């Protein structure tokens, strides 16, 4: 089974995808009306928010990577991809994060630092792969070896920062 077969298999269940990414923002919106102390210690509601954030964040991040891969590396026409698999998770993630962010600070939620570190690590990895795929253009026309070495050090430091944040 290839990755494209998996994407096609996921796209065969549009009701499940739409239901999943409709229930999570609705749950975040409903949890926003629950009265609890948002300034005190962590409560069960904070853990409920964290579960929702992880449930929508991981598929949304994978979908964002799929979009970037299709757009920049394979040069796939985004008008021809499955909208439910590629774009609905990102839209659902953005809407859910917006709804939760209006009610509670993300720093308060358990595990959000690790999730943001994972997202940063994935984004840095994708950026590194993108730069490496375009390296011959960058080195040939825009950069010297010293600039390339400096960029390598910056990418290494960014990976260190994301790794520390992920494995706190």
What does the pLDDT look like over 69-119, one tens digit per residue? 888 878 888 888 889 999 999 999 999 999 998 888 888 888 887 888 888
Q: Looking at the structure, tell me whether residues 48 and 80 fall in a common domain.
A: yes
Domain that holds residue 118: 111-168
Label residue 138 by pLDDT band (50, 70, 90).
low
Q: Looking at the structure, tell me whether residues 36 and 85 fall in a common domain.
A: yes
Q: Looking at the structure, tell me whether residues 19 and 102 fall in a common domain.
A: yes
The more confidently predicted of residues 61 and 130 is 61
Q: Looking at the structure, tell me whether residues 55 and 75 fall in a common domain.
A: yes
Domain total for the chain?
Answer: 2
Which residues make Cβ contacts (< 8 Å) with residue 37, sequence separation at least 6? 43
Among 92, 110, 128, identify where a domain stops: 110
Q: Looking at the structure, tell me whether residues 81 and 148 fall in a common domain.
A: no
Please state the length of the chain: 168
Question: DSSP 3-state assignment of 18?
Answer: helix
What does the pLDDT look like over 22-55, one tens digit per residue? 999 999 999 888 777 667 677 788 888 999 999 9
The more confidently predicted of residues 100 and 155 is 100
Q: Looking at the structure, tell me whether residues 77 and 150 fall in a common domain.
A: no
Please, are residues 45 and 34 in contact by the beta-carbon 8 Å criterion? Answer: yes
109: nearest Cα among 53, 63, 168, 56:
53
Q: Quick one: pLDDT at residue 46?
A: 85
26: nearest Cα among 100, 107, 90:
100
Count of C-beta atoms within a 10 Å radius of residue 161? 14
């Amino acid at each position: 089974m290839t990755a494209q077969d998996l994407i096609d298999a996921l796209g065969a269940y549009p009701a499940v995808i739409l239901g999943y990414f409709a229930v999570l923002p609705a749950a975040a919106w409903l949890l926003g009306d629950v009265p609890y102390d948002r300034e005190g210690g962590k409560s069960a509601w904070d853990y409920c928010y964290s579960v929702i954030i992880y449930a929508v964040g991981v598929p949304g991040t994978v979908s964002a990577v799929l979009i970037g891969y299709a757009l920049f590396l394979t040069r796939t026409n985004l008008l021809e991809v499955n909208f439910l698999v590629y774009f609905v998770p990102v839209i659902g993630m953005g809407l859910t994060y917006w709804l939760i962010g209006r009610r509670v600070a993300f720093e308060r939620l358990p595990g959000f630092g690790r999730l943001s570190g994972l997202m940063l690590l994935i984004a840095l990895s994708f950026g590194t792969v993108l730069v490496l795929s375009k390296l011959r253009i960058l080195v040939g026309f825009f950069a010297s070896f010293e600039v390339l070495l400096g960029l390598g050090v910056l990418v290494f430091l960014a990976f260190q920062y994301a790794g520390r944040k992920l494995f706190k």
